[in-house]
Amino acid sequence: MSNVAIIPARGGSKRIPRKNIRDFLGKPIIAYSIEAALESDLFDEIMVSTDDEEIAEVAKKYGAKVPFMRSKENADDYATTVDVLVEVLQTYQQQGKNFENGCCIYPTAPLVKPVFLENAYEKLIHKNFNTVFPVVEFSYPIQRSLKLNEVGKVEMNWPEYLDSRSQDLPKSYHDAGQFYWFKVEGLLKEEKFFGNNSGAIILPNTRVQDIDTKEDWRLAEMKAKLIW
């Protein structure tokens, strides 16, 4: 098996400026994703896709490769992660490099562990999924979630579950937002992560924190301090 880790890290973060290389408890946050990939020993190539020279230098310092820079077209606010991956994989193919499997690891996932990558990869290969990614359980049953109408009145999204006990409702999960393993051929063909043949590994809430705001950043640091 030939595997590539692709870490997408553009330079134009808006809500948290320079987010991808901002210091997180002593080192640039992207370093944690690179180090997890290196320590997993799963990859023939670990690369960072970026349009930013400073990010490229930081990535190389911590052991990743930056064999080519990201195109301007895929460095704006509208390019999707899949757009970036397709560009990377097609560029490699033009250079004569082909990979069977890929893993997109986000640069702001400091709570990721090599064992998570290993467990998901094992499921990708042995369960024959097209994609595998980590999920985390919602802390409260979504069937009993609430909404506010146009005048601010509280209503249930699903009133039929008003009297249901939490323990009687099926568990629900959401994407942990850390990484996605995929079969390269399938991704280039379908150009999407989630399809009818996707699998998942379940992570504990303490190992998951989406980082979009400064408050998210502080929560991630708090979780990291608790578990490291």
Amino acid, res. 228: W
List b or e across 101-110, with b for residues whose CB sees 16 or more CB atoms inside 10 angstroms. Answer: bbbbbbbbbb
Helix (H, G, I), strand (E, B) or coil at 89: helix
* Residues linked to residue 49 through DSSP beta bridges, in sequence order: 8
Question: How much is the pLDDT for 168?
Answer: 95
- Domain total for the chain? 1
Range of the domain at 65: 3-227
pLDDT in tens, 30-41: 999 999 999 999
Q: DSSP label at 204?
A: -
Report which of 186, 172, 185, 95 is spatially closest to residue 141, judged by C-alpha positions: 172
Question: How much is the pLDDT for 183?
Answer: 98
Half-sphere exposure (Cβ direction) of 197: Cα atoms closer than 13 Å: 11
Q: Which residues have C-beta within 8 Å of that of residue 212, sequence separation ≥ 6?
A: 15, 16
Task: Look at 77 and 204; give whichever has higher pLDDT.
Answer: 204
d(C-alpha 186, C-alpha 140), whole Å: 34
Q: For the domain that residue 154 is a member of, what is the CATH number?
A: 3.90.550.10
Task: Answer for the pair 111, 223: CB distance below 8 angstroms, yes or no.
Answer: yes
d(C-alpha 193, C-alpha 38), whole Å: 23
pLDDT in tens, 87-138: 999 999 999 999 999 999 999 999 999 999 999 999 999 999 999 999 999 9
Q: Residue 146: in which H helix or E strand, if any?
A: strand 146-148
pLDDT in tens, 142-195: 999 999 999 999 999 999 999 999 999 999 999 999 999 999 999 999 999 988
pLDDT in tens, 197-211: 999 999 999 999 999
Whole-structure pTM value: 0.96
1, pLDDT greater than 80? no
